[in-house]
Structure 1
Amino acid sequence: MIPAAAGCPSEDRRGLNRIPGRPGELISRIAVYGRMIKFSHTVFALPFALSALVLAGREHGVTAAQIFWILVAMVGARSAAMGFNRIADVGFDARNPRTAGREIPSGRLSTRAAMVFVALSSAVFILAAAMLGRLPFLLSAPVLGVLFLYSYAKRFTWLAHACLGFVISLAPLATWIAVTGIFSWKILWLSLALMTYITGFDILYACQDVDFDRSQGLFSIPAHFGVRKALWAARMIHALAYASFLMVYVAFDMTGGFLLAAGLIGLMLVFEHWLTDPEDLSRVHIAFFHVNSVISVTLLAGVLADEMIRRIG
């Protein structure tokens, strides 16, 4: 172990468990938690929630307070779910060369500290739900339960990818209910688009761990059916995602601004699958993060463009 410089507090060997004493140390600690939950991946689902917010506001109006608490709820729910997933999977992550460097198995963060983080994030989510209304508050605990349950799905079923897609697809529906206080079938198209979009690229991502999943008895479509069949499954699921984007256009009577965005999303989905070669999975990371983040942002841009066209017209 390299000794700490004079006057600089050394990091706890078990993880970041102490109260930070300096601003730089606090920032470093926050960064560790952010990496644990892959905070940058919020860009996948958040644009869908914001799109639902715009669509709900069009029909029912939306306040600044609602926008604030929806954002807080999104961050709280996702942080709690990802933190719980890291705790549940710590044993597998430690044995997998691709994930052994993650914060908990590498010792940069203790399991206890992660549990406290999950508890606090859950409390933030429940508080935000309560501020949004009685119905969101009553639904907050069941939603957390569903989010946590996903972490164990790959121990039992190769449909774990769809489980992940489902729990993330709750974001647009929850946002709609938080704003309007009622259910509408129309928003289900946006949730279905998010569910199939997430499910498809999670299958692509899981192709990297085929050998490890098989050795550990974990379930995934690539491990169960093989990489080539998994890639075809992802293509078909993403075709359904694209159809769902088009149904959003129909259900909400969108303008050409959204249709243009949907066309761009279709091209990016094709490009994503062109990048993924069953004989060479080295570009999966590009397809997973870079292309998918652009797809999400393009969706939101299309919804905002539609809103601007409506206001101008």
Structure 2
Amino acid sequence: MTNTSTHSRIPGWQRLSLFLEAIKFEHSVFALPFAILAAFISASGAPDWLAFTWVLVAMVGMRTFGMAANRLIDAEIDARNPRTATRAIPAGTISRRAMIGYMAVAGLIFVAATSQLDPVTWALAPIPLAVMIGYPYLKRFTWLAHFGMGAVYLIVPPAVSLALTGIMPLGFVIIGIGSMAWVAGFDVLYATADYEVDRKQGLHSIPARFGIPASLIISRLLHASAVILLAIAGVVLEASAFYSFGVLAAVILLAYEQSLVSSDDLSKLNMAFFTMNGVIAVVFGTFVVIGEVV
């Protein structure tokens, strides 16, 4: 049970620090490059900086809202899993009430940011928030839950184009689908860590359903699909050679990420998930942005 009295005695700045740690705020780097590259592609160069800033604020607000929702909704599940029992709510360092408060503030920031963009973005703002709330529940019903997380990233590139230009060209949708495959692939990889616990708790995931060896194959197929889709998007968008270099870099880095994990050795799983995915997103995004600017 959450120790709310202990939490109330923690200074405000430290509570915020605990919250940012709880939602892994630094992992916003996973999603931001796809928003940034979509902004530069939609502008065929540097976007309007004020609108671009609002896009970034919206992205951070959306992810923060989603992670807070995830921690809140999964608190009881996390408490029963030795790997996640030290997370903020099960450990009592953040109360449910406080997490709801942080979640509400993040949601308001997201809505406020979208109100400064194309009017259609404001009208569609409830959709990503609903996806963020719905995703944590999927593992209770279906092993396809990984694609629920991927759906969040599917939204990003076309939504950014819509926010900045009012239109959503096919190329951005293809990038979004590629992003979904990429994220679902690494989520499957990460879920191997909870293979046994998920089975015991009756939770659904690809590793719990098919086992670790088959899950690693599925993860690799998803990552292969991701780079193919990103390459197709580049052709559709008539992107520069730098875009192609970015896809090639993603292929090499994803292959390395997959090499870190095997059915007999999951010891490097955290490096594969936390480190490599941030690196891949930043490298690919950097190549794309350079191509648009140059």
Q: TM-score range, shorter-chain basis?
A: over 0.9
Q: Which has the larger radius of gyration?
A: 1
**Native 8 Å contact 2:7 2:93 kept in 1:** no
Per the normalisation by structure 2, the TM-score is: 0.95
SS of aligned partner of 1:105 = helix
**Native 8 Å contact 1:15 1:109 kept in 2:** no
Distance apart, 1:241 and its partner CA: 0.5
Mapped pair 1:68 → 2:53: yes
SS of aligned partner of 2:89 = coil
Distance apart, 1:168 and its partner CA: 2.2
**Native 8 Å contact 2:242 2:287 kept in 1:** yes
Structure 1, 222-231 or 168-177: larger mean CA deviation: 168-177
Distance apart, 1:29 and its partner CA: 2.2
Deviations 1:223-264 (A, max 9, x none): 000000000000111100010121122122222222222111
Distance apart, 1:15 and its partner CA: 6.6
**Native 8 Å contact 2:159 2:168 kept in 1:** no
Mapped pair 1:196 → 2:181: yes
Of 129, 137, 145 in structure 1, the residue corresponding to residue 130 of structure 2 is 145
**Native 8 Å contact 1:16 1:110 kept in 2:** no
What does residue 237 of structure 1 align with? Answer: 222
What does residue 36 of structure 2 align with? Answer: 50
Deviations 1:130-185 (A, max 9, x none): 11132111111122112111110000000000111012221111111100112211
Distance apart, 1:27 and its partner CA: 3.6
Per the normalisation by structure 1, the TM-score is: 0.89
Of 92, 100, 111 in structure 2, the residue corresponding to residue 107 of structure 1 is 92
| One-letter identity of the residue aligned with 1:167 | V
Q: Kindly report which structure 2 residues correspond to 1:244-255, keeping only aligned pairs within 5 A, or say none.
A: 244-255=229-240
SS of aligned partner of 2:4 = coil
| One-letter identity of the residue aligned with 1:128 | A
SS of aligned partner of 2:169 = coil
CA distance in 1, matches of 2:5, 2:255: 42
What does residue 76 of structure 2 align with? Answer: 91
| One-letter identity of the residue aligned with 2:232 | M
Q: Kindly report which structure 2 residues correspond to 1:278-289, keeping only aligned pairs within 5 A, or say none.
A: 278-289=263-274
Distance apart, 1:26 and its partner CA: 4.1
| One-letter identity of the residue aligned with 2:4 | R
What does residue 41 of structure 1 align with? Answer: 27
Distance apart, 1:17 and its partner CA: 5.1
SS of aligned partner of 1:132 = coil
Structure 1 runs, 4 residues or longer, greater than 6 Å off: none
What does residue 142 of structure 2 align with? Answer: 157
The verdict on how the C-alpha distance between 1:265 and 1:15 changes in structure 2, with shifts beyond 3 A counting, is: farther
CA distance in 2, matches of 1:44, 1:173: 17
**Native 8 Å contact 1:45 1:194 kept in 2:** no
What does residue 257 of structure 1 align with? Answer: 242
Query: Which structure 1 residue ranges, 5 or more long, are not aligned?
Result: 1-11
CA distance in 2, matches of 1:75, 1:186: 24
